[in-house]
Each structure stands twice: as C-alpha cells, then as structure tokens.
Structure 1
Amino acid sequence: MEKYIYKDGKNMRYGYTTGSCATAAAKGAARMLVYQKKIETVRISTLKGWDLDLELEDRIFTKNFAQCSVKKDSGDDPDSTNGINIFAKVERIKKQGIEITGGEGIGMVTKRGLSIEPGNYAINPIPRESIKKAVEEELPKKWGVKVTIFCPQGVEIAKKTFNPQLGIQGGISILGTTGIIEPMSEEAFKDSLAIEISIKKAEGIKQLIFSPGNYGNDFSKSMGLDSKYLIKTSNFIGFMLDKAEEFQIEKILWIGHIGKMVKIAGGIFHTHSYMADARMEILAAYAALLKAPYSLVQKILSSMTTEEAIEFIKDWEKEREFFNLIAQKVSDRCRKRIKSPIQLGTILFSQKYGFLGQCRDAEKLLEGFKIE
C-alpha cells in the first residue's frame, strides 16, 4: 500500500488491518466460487474512505467451495501480525444467506466484557459486517454460503499479543474500525492532539469534552452534546490536561469508558496497557472502601476486563454510589494535576450498560455543552 503520512521528519507508510484482509479474501473466494475461475486481485472499500486493491494468494476452487488468502501489510506500524496470510473459505450451503465463522488460528472468546460474546470467534462486529457486505456483492440471489476465516500462523502469533490476557484463546483477532492502519509515532500523535486544542481556542472555544476513544464520541452524541467541543485524547491523559491548562481552557468534561477512566482514578495519566494497568485493583480498592462483600472484591480482582467486572458490580445495591465515587476520583486526580482553576467534571459509561455514574460537578457542566 503506497500511502504515506509525514511524521517525525519522515514519510511513514499506511497499512491495512486483519479485517481488510479477511474482507478481501472472502470477496475473492466468493467471486471464484461463482465464476469458477481464479481471480488475481479484488478491490474493497474501507470506512477510511479509501479503496484497496489487494492481491489474492493460495487460490483454489471447486464447484462447492473456493478459498484464498491475503497477506497482511501493516505499513510502517510495528505489528506482530505483519506479513501473515489471512484466509477465507466460501462454501455453498442449502440455507439462503451468509454465515460467517472462524477456523484455525482465529481466537475464541472465552471471557465476558468484549464486543463479542463468549463461545464465538474473535471476528469483531465491524469486520464481520464488512465481510458480509463484500460477499453479498458477489453472490447471485437466493444463494447460501458459509464463510470461514482462518489463519494457520495465528496460533503462534497470538502468543505475542494481548489476546490471552483478554480471554481470547487459540489465535488472533480479526480487527479494524476503518480498515486502515495509521503508523504511530507517539510524539507526532501528541503534537497533533495539542494542535486540536489550539484550533478550538482560536475559534473562541474555551470549554472542551475530553474522551480517550471513539466510543466517547458516540456516547456524547447520544447525550445530545455538541461534537464541536469534543477532542479525543487517546492514552495521553496527563499531556492533554497540561495542554488544556497551557491554552487557558476554562472547563473540561471527561466522558469516557470505565476501562480507561478507572486508571485515572488511580493516578495513571498515560493509560496504554504497556505503561500501566491496575484497573481491577483500583476497582476492588474503591469497592472495599464502600464495604463491598469480600466475594465481590474477589470477583472484581479475577475479572479479565472492566466490562466483566461490571457484570458483578451491577448486582450490588451500592452500584450507583460506587461508579459516582470512581467518577469523582477521576475529577479529583485531574484537579491535583493542574494548577489553574479549570472546572472539571467526569461521566463514566460502558459499552453494554451505557451510563454508569458521574461526579458531583458533571451535571452543572453538562448544560454548557448541549446542542443549542
């Protein structure tokens, strides 16, 4: 893939995700099955808005099935899956429609708290939808097919990823929200985030909604908040607070997933897992502070993800008090970090349950961010 972004004084090449590879392989296999001939390349569209022309390898077909693979290209981004082949097998079935499943080298979800329920292959919702759409484009009406995504190299490669810690066993995940991998340079990324604050200030905006990720953007919109105030901070929580203070921002409302925000409640201001991770310990400590049963504290500590921990906390009569306390601690930690009198508020949510809790000052701050 010959697209580049300029970072740290050099051109860095974009790549494409395992989700794009699986989509292209499935599309190619479906076309070979329908037309009964080998296909060399396919074109797929990505949510980034870019079309990809990807070469097909390992091509075979019969009257009943076809399969091929696409080699993963991560560009200049360090990635353990770079260079591996993602396969798709498409076979005729009697039932009309498209079934999507995984095979060798694709991880199986074994724990709660992910976007995929336990007992299913780790093919994330967006790539799954992309695969389905791409295959539909190739099939005659009333056809039924089963699409199996597999990766023989995935069993070994997965051992170098966080999948085992997340409860994904036996292989890699099929991932990707945009289909494209942007090569990461941390300093360049932080600089671009700082520029966003500078631009907002230049536009006369003195209050901001901070959210670590994409889900915060979606949740903010669901609350009727104006997206013109929103900036994604990624993992650089402390850096963004410092920059907000530098640009004399007057109000900050944090809207974030509990998985990231709980780290801030523990004083962790760079939230990437390679820097620090004490999510369960922090949750357990505050649960104990509210005199949670010992059995609940144990369950929290044994959880693989915060979403899983929430499953246990939701059955506790102090659930709302607990999440409000976490939100308050996030705001308190941020106030200790900065020296200027920035007004701060925090709202927490989860992917499954939505709103979880908020700090004391969040409600009054909310009004100023709503769409007029």
Structure 2
Amino acid sequence: MTQSRTDSPQGLTLPVWVAAAARAATKVLCGQAFDTPQSLQIPGRDQPLSVPLQSAAPLQGGEQALAISRCDPGPGLDLTRDLEIWVQVRWSQPVTGWLEIVPGEGIGRQGPEGDLCASDFARRVLEANLRDLVPPGRCLQMEVVFPLGRELAQRTSNAAFGVVDGLALIGTQAEVQSSASPDQLRASLDALQAIAGAADFCGSLTLVIGENGLDLAHQLGLADQQPLLKAGNWIGPLLVASAEAGIRNLLLLGYHGKLVKLAGGIFHTHHHLADGRLEVLAAIALQQGLGVDLIKDLLACASMESALQELQKCDSTSADQVWQAIAQAVEVRSEAYLKRYGTWSMRVGAALFDRERQLRWTGLTGHSLLACCGLGIHSEGEEAGFDPSLR
C-alpha cells in the first residue's frame, strides 16, 4: 500500500506514527476495518489529525493483530525518516490497567531491564486513541517494534542519558519542531522578544540546550529565578539576538557532549552540519597537559560518549580539569562570536551537566551567574565549592 502524505506540512513526531499503527491494529483485533489514513485525536487539539498507514492484518486466527506505519518527520533533517513502526496487539488479563505497553526490538528503555522510555505526550496520545476500542474489564497488550531502532540509536545521545536498546518514544507535541530549521529559529527569536519585552523582565536569561537542559533547569529552580528559553541548534544567532534585546546576563546550560562544540567555535550545533567534538576535546586536553597517548586514544574513540568514558576512566581529576577548561572556552568563544557583530555589555556564562544530569562544570562567568541564583556545583555526589585555580 502506498503511503500518502499527512495533513501536517511540518511532519509528525514518533508518538503520532505509533498511535496510528496502534489504533489500526486494535481495530483489526476488534474485527473492524482499518482506515488509511487514520483519524487520530490529539490531546489539546480540537480537530482530528489524518495520519497515513502502511498496512494492518490479523494474526493467529484473529487472536492478535499487526499494523505498520512509516515515519515522516517532514522536510527537515531527521534520522527517523522512513523508519518502519510495527505495533502488535492482543488481549491479556488486566493487571495494572486497561493498557500494557511492551517495549519490543529497537525501543529505548531506561536501563537494560528498565521500563519503556516514553514521554507523557506519547502515553496520552495512545490513551486518547485506544481507550474507546478496549471493552470494560479487558486489557490491551501492545508491543511496539522499531526494526532499525537499535542501529539508529547509536547515532543519538540516548546512551548518555541512560536510554539503551533503541530509540526513545519521545515528543511533546504532534508536529515536528526541527531544531535545525529556520522556523525553529524564528519561534525562538519571537519567544526571546516576548521575554525581553515583558514589564517585569530582570535582564537575566537562561538559554537551555535541548529537553534535558530544560528539565534540569526546572529541577534546579532556575525557572523561579529568571526566564528560561529552550534553544535548538541556532546558538549563534540567539546569542546575538539576546545581546540586541538588552539581555545583561545570559547563562548557557547544556549537556557537556553538546556544548563542547561551542568551545571549538561551532555555533550551529546540528550534527548534520558540523561535529568536531572529539577534535575539540583532544585540543583542550592537550592544552591541559594530558599525555599524547591518551589524546590519541580519545581521537580513536568511535563516539563522543566513549571518549568521555575513556577520559574519566584514565584520570578523573584531569577529566574534571579538562571539562572546566571546556566550560571556560565556551564563554571565551561566545564572547568572541558576539564581537564579530557588535559591541555589547552582555555577560555570557556556561554551565555544563553530565550524563547523570548533574550540574558539574562552569566557566568563571557561569559560576558567578549561578551563585547569584543560589546554586553551587555538583561534584562527586556532593555540593562543592568553586575553585578558580582549576581555570
């Protein structure tokens, strides 16, 4: 069956494609005809969303059913493009409720024996489109499979945040908001103008990198201290726009494996456009006096994550010094980037967190900005003071 386009010009997130296959499979299990495209209910949206489907069929004499959809994330750069999504359903005995979601091959888990890694939106969109098909007193067991999920996950930062075995079923809305697209930049610039133009704006802003940075900022209480703005990959233009908008203090908060690009002068951070993270890590490790043999080992690593683990394993103290130097380099490079476009008094601080989402390293300005918010640096499981001599 040939797949048609969705009615969304932006493309749709993984949870929507999973929900389309899940509803089609469940309808077949109930002895009903499935439709393509599927009409899905999206939480918070008045009108249903039309989502195409590949196919659906009963299995084992109708005791089970399988449906397949194919991800279309829209015109942007996205590794999930054309990803096949298989959803198999059957009835089971109710144990914890009316719906049991089983992570199959290629689905990310929170640790090797952990639960399915899925966002709240993913669970809500599934519930919204399956609840009416499940009779009272019955439980629908739904297994989701991404045949290429394990392979594709190796090209993401999932492992850095404890997600193993495949792709996480994440997404906070139906439409894809590409972090590399001009539309995403426009949305961020509009949000920045709204923040800076507010009557009660204090002049300080935290620019968070990605969903993990946003989540950590809320956990730390930064949202209670000053506005937060989630950035995509357009860090450079947002730095300039922040200075132009009159921001006095800007804190960059992000995962160390992402912000390291800024330390190398890379200010559009999408992996399709530029990487160079291992080379930046190696260069700063050399500046900090690490041995040439270790630096060669870092450059030979297959991924940034494996390089981080290698560095930490060899010498944890030196590793901390390298990352503190990287945080300082992020600040220096950011200031240099701003000077290309004008003269402003905005201070740029950097704060980096690790794979356990612990705030670990800052530049000098980042330390000062965090101190103004009453925050310290997390080190070896305890709150620790800041040691400028390590800079």
Classify 1:276/1:366 alpha carbon distance in 2 versus 1 (closer, same or farther; 3 Å): same
In the alignment, the residues of structure 1 paired with residue 222 and residue 338 of structure 2 have an alpha-carbon distance, to the nearest angstrom, of 25
User: What does residue 321 of structure 2 align with?
Assistant: 321
Q: Which amino acid aligns with 1:70?
A: S
Task: Answer whether contact 2:91 2:138 (CA < 8 A) is retained.
Answer: no
User: What does residue 56 of structure 2 align with?
Assistant: 59
Deviation of the 1:58 alpha carbon: 2.3
**Deviation digits for residues 178-200 of structure 1 (CA, Å, limit 9, x no counterpart):** 24224788444433333333322
- Unpaired runs of at least 5, structure 1: 4-12, 110-114
User: What does residue 220 of structure 1 align with?
Assistant: 217
In the alignment, the residues of structure 2 paired with residue 182 and residue 262 of structure 1 have an alpha-carbon distance, to the nearest angstrom, of 23
Task: Answer whether contact 2:107 2:145 (CA < 8 A) is retained.
Answer: no
Q: Which amino acid aligns with 2:86?
A: F
The sequence identity of aligned pairs, in percent, is 22
State the aligned residue count. Answer: 344
In the alignment, the residues of structure 2 paired with residue 71 and residue 108 of structure 1 have an alpha-carbon distance, to the nearest angstrom, of 15
Larger relative contact order (Cα-Cα within 8 Å, sequence gap ≥ 6) = 1
| TM-score normalised by structure 1 residue count | 0.74
User: What does residue 331 of structure 1 align with?
Assistant: 331
- Equivalent position SS for 1:125: coil
Classify 1:57/1:141 alpha carbon distance in 2 versus 1 (closer, same or farther; 3 Å): farther
Deviation of the 1:364 alpha carbon: 2.3
Classify 1:235/1:321 alpha carbon distance in 2 versus 1 (closer, same or farther; 3 Å): same
Deviation of the 1:282 alpha carbon: 1.3
Task: Answer whether contact 1:65 1:91 (CA < 8 A) is retained.
Answer: yes
- Equivalent position SS for 2:261: helix
- Equivalent position SS for 1:70: strand
Q: Are positions 1:177 and 2:171 aligned together? A: yes
Q: Which amino acid aligns with 1:65?
A: Q
Classify 1:29/1:355 alpha carbon distance in 2 versus 1 (closer, same or farther; 3 Å): same
User: What does residue 25 of structure 1 align with?
Assistant: 21
| TM-score normalised by structure 2 residue count | 0.71
Classify 1:349/1:164 alpha carbon distance in 2 versus 1 (closer, same or farther; 3 Å): closer
Structure 1, 94-103 or 213-222: larger mean CA deviation: 94-103
Task: Answer whether contact 1:251 1:344 (CA < 8 A) is retained.
Answer: yes
Deviation of the 1:347 alpha carbon: 0.5
Within-5 A mapping of 1:1-372: 1-3=6-8, 13-33=9-29, 35-40=30-35, 41=38, 43-45=40-42, 52-54=49-51, 56-61=53-58, 62-77=61-76, 86-91=85-90, 98=100, 100-103=102-105, 107=106, 125-126=118-119, 129=123, 133=127, 137=131, 139=134, 141=137, 143=139, 145=141, 147-150=143-146, 165-166=155-156, 173=167, 176-178=170-172, 179-182=174-177, 186-203=181-198, 204-226=201-223, 228-292=226-290, 296-315=294-313, 316-339=316-339, 340-369=344-373
Classify 1:48/1:347 alpha carbon distance in 2 versus 1 (closer, same or farther; 3 Å): farther
- Equivalent position SS for 1:287: helix
Structure 1, 310-319 or 332-341: larger mean CA deviation: 310-319
Task: Answer whether contact 1:208 1:253 (CA < 8 A) is retained.
Answer: yes
In the alignment, the residues of structure 1 paired with residue 351 and residue 302 of structure 2 have an alpha-carbon distance, to the nearest angstrom, of 23
Structure 1, 232-241 or 70-79: larger mean CA deviation: 70-79
- Equivalent position SS for 1:180: coil
